[in-house]
Amino acid sequence: MDTSSSPEITRLLQDWRGGSQEALDLLVSRVYEELRAVAAAQLASERPDHTLQATGLVHEAYVRLVDAKIPWEDRAHFFAVASGTMRRILVDHARARRAQKRGGERVGVTLHDDILADGSPADEILALDEALSRLASVDPRKGRTVELRYFGGLNATEIGDVLGVAVATVQRDLRMARAWLMRELSDGIAPDTAAGDP
């Protein structure tokens, strides 16, 4: 991406902050394209020990898309968009892979099948996505917090600035949201519950 795109992105960000939904849609599609391009470019120069991280990609897409001199809040907003986009990408992919499993023959060995016991990372992503959506419906702020942290890789300070809350709040939000998600995604037995009835 050349830098001539960055004033446009900045403008979209500002419009979005000003409340324009259309700006958000455009932003998302630009970011999506950019993330794919970044991933492809990173893979092109992949060295044997290179590992991709979702959060690294988001940062890289930011650098490429946006002028670094834009106001700090806009940067955070960019990440908010990018995180959500990243989540969408992963979920789309997971769905496709799950369909694959049901479709033709058994999918062969891939590099990351050891992530989960049942052997499919796609299932975990989808479960996470679903649980996260449920969390967001009860507590939107926690939902966005998790998205920014997990998919965008922002730290507590940055999250606080995006959402307009104190760092301590962010930390407490994350702690509870994580506990809740873990419970949702596990089989329900807590690791450190005392024996006996509550």
What is the binding site for another protein (CB under 8 A)?
36, 39-48, 51-55, 57, 86, 89-90, 92-94, 96-97, 99-100, 103-112, 115-116, 121-122, 124-125, 138-139, 149-151, 155-156, 170-172, 174-176, 178-180, 182-183, 186, 188, 190-194, 198
Give the ranges where 45-105 is alpha helix by DSSP (H).
54-65, 72-102
The residue (of 28 and 180) whose beta carbon lies closer to another protein is 180
Residue with tokens 């600035």: 161
**Min CB(130)–another protein separation in Å:** 15
The backbone region for 196, taken as left when phi is positive above 0, alpha when psi lies in -120 to 50, beta otherwise, is: left
**Min CB(10)–another protein separation in Å:** 26
The residue (of 30 and 70) whose beta carbon lies closer to another protein is 30
**Min CB(100)–another protein separation in Å:** 4
Side-chain-side CA neighbours of 52 within 13 Å: the count stands at 17
The residue (of 70 and 154) whose beta carbon lies closer to another protein is 154
Q: What span, in angstroms and rounded, lies between the C-alpha atoms of 65 and 104?
A: 39
**Min CB(7)–another protein separation in Å:** 26
- Nearest of 42, 44, 82 to residue 62 by alpha carbon: 82
The residue (of 71 and 116) whose beta carbon lies closer to another protein is 116
Q: What span, in angstroms and rounded, lies between the C-alpha atoms of 196 and 198?
A: 7
